[in-house]
Chains A and B, each alone.
Chain A
Amino acid sequence: MTVSDKSPKSIGNEEAKTFIISGNYAAAYAAKMARIEVVAAYPITPSTDCVEKVSEFVEDGVMGAELIKVESEHSVAGALIGASSTGARTFSSTSAHGLLYMAELVWWAALARLPVVMSIVNRELAPAWSIWAQTQDSMSLRDSGIIQYYCKNAQEVFDTLLMAYKVSEHEHVYMPSLVCQDAYILSHTNAQVDMPAQKDVDDFIGTYNPKHFILDPKNPVTHSNLSYPQHYRQKRFNIMESTHRAKQIIKDVCADYKKRFGRFHGDLVDTYGIDKKTKHIIVSHSSIAEEIELSVDMLKKKGYDAGLIRIRVLRPFPDEELRELCKNIETIHFIERAPSYGYKGIIAIDTMAALFESENRPKAFHHIEGLSGMDVTAEYAADLIEKDLETLK
């Protein structure tokens, strides 16, 4: 028997309902409606509200999860790995130093193929101490195999968490996920979030019943023992294959979600204003990208054929989608929060590599903006693009 068979008695809405809540609460409600079985928490600003809300749900008896209080983020990930190994659906939320402190075990969860899902509030790293938005914390874990989603608003955080479980627990994936949102800009901004009825979420998400071994005292197994190169190699090749395969599964799950709930935030990428005439593409991510949709409108009004690609999933990386969307464009403009020190923006590095395999090589412009949650207003972003294009005249 897996823990999942216990079917926790979380109480969701009977009817679809709209709440005005923060991104942190959106994540907490999604965890409740996904009928999480185990939550481990060591709260850190600005993700604190999420696990606080979850503990309130558990305390009030409306969420049937086991809440484990631990002494560090490293132990949070340890607890989730242990719980997930028994076949339980697991959840936590963290930020910045919390995520990096658990980095070793993020890799462990990925290499152990455990579908742990966490809500990440992207925050700057110290020193100097900063609590505001930046995405290096999670992006620096992009090589671990963990699937990474970057959301543009609280509604997308809610929807994506539900979808993340479905993708992570898919038998052709079995990899963990991070669902990321910007510190304060989303985590502490209250906005409308539509939630489906609990029974519809249950129908969509199902229960986690792994097809492989699980930790069970009644049926003991030895695992994660010394693995000789030929076996270890095979396991890693399997991960490479599964993470690539996850692309199609993410697309399918997003399409299914749209069919059931009428909401679609893009799949691997989200696009805005792109058509056959588009010559200039802006590539961005997270909440900045939603405001840049307004920049695209402004640029179009001024006669520029501009469009936007929002990288919604950073891993697995949407390389084919980018080649297809960029095959006829003249310029590409990166506006992103996260630099890889010593090179360029993290998304730019990956996108340029993808376009290297394309016939069309657009002229690229790089902008690192919004560090430490600095505003990137629609007007400012539109101005950046205009100035880029003036240099070509």
Chain B
Amino acid sequence: MFEEIRWHGRGGQGAVTSAKILAEAAHREGKFVQAFAFYGAERRGAPVETYTRIADSHIKRHSQIYKPTVVAVLDPALPKILYMKGITEDSTLIVNFNKEKAFPDLKCKKHWIDATQIAIDLELKIADSYITNTIMTGAVAKATGLVKLDSVLDAIKGQLNERIWDTNLEAAKRGFNETHPYSKGV
């Protein structure tokens, strides 16, 4: 197993935390992991990429991810061109869309989830923007089967302050349960 997950979000949406939660979840299942980001001038609202690697043995790679096996998009308004790069037919793409027809026209395994609506329901909000990072960790667990939901929930407890556990655990569970495969196939 050598999985490379790329997360797309905007500065302040918690994509770094998504990458870390998935890494910790896989670590709890005995896998070797890396969680990192591409750093530059950090600006709230600007598109950001973060990454998780999961493998059966110690990871020697330190370069960026060019051919992601999984791509998860936290923000529905991100330009498609940003997250389409490097996707192959074997990649799994999970996007925060409220309807499946919004998908870009490319060959890969597609899943969608209305994560923003879940964030609105749960009032997962920081500085007036809805935070979908923990929802998307649940969605990735469901769409890919890389980790169990229970491991994601434990990892959320490991990564987040106890004060915000309840909402985020619920967020990940709903993310897991409300992820839909793209009905028209590949």
Contacts and interface: CB of A to CB of B under 8 A. Distances in A.
B63 A131 contact: no
A293 B33 contact: no
A165 interface: no
A184 B36 contact: yes
Interface string B5-41: 0000000000000011001100100001111110110
Given A46-B39, A131-B39, A192-B33, A186 B23 contact: no
Given A20-B20, A20-B23, A291-B62, A189 B39 contact: no
Nearest to A133: B62
A242 interface: no
Interface in A151-187: 153, 182, 184-186
A290 interface: yes
B35 A189 contact: yes
A191 interface: yes
Contact of B62 (A46, A189, A190): A189
B184 interface: no
Contact of B59 (A20, A188, A191): A191
Given A20-B20, A20-B23, A20-B27, A190 B36 contact: yes
B24 to A, nearest CB: 6
A325 B115 CA distance: 56
A324 interface: no
B33 A291 contact: no
B34 A191 contact: yes
Given A20-B20, A190-B23, A192-B32, A291 B39 contact: no
Contacts of A290: 60, 62
A189 B34 contact: yes
Given A191-B59, A294-B60, A20 B37 contact: no
Interface stretch (A207-215, A222-230, A375-383): A375-383
Contact of A377 (B19, B24, B63): B63
A192 B23 CA distance: 10
10 contacts: A20-B23, A20-B27, A131-B40, A184-B39, A189-B35, A190-B20, A191-B59, A377-B63, A378-B61, A378-B63
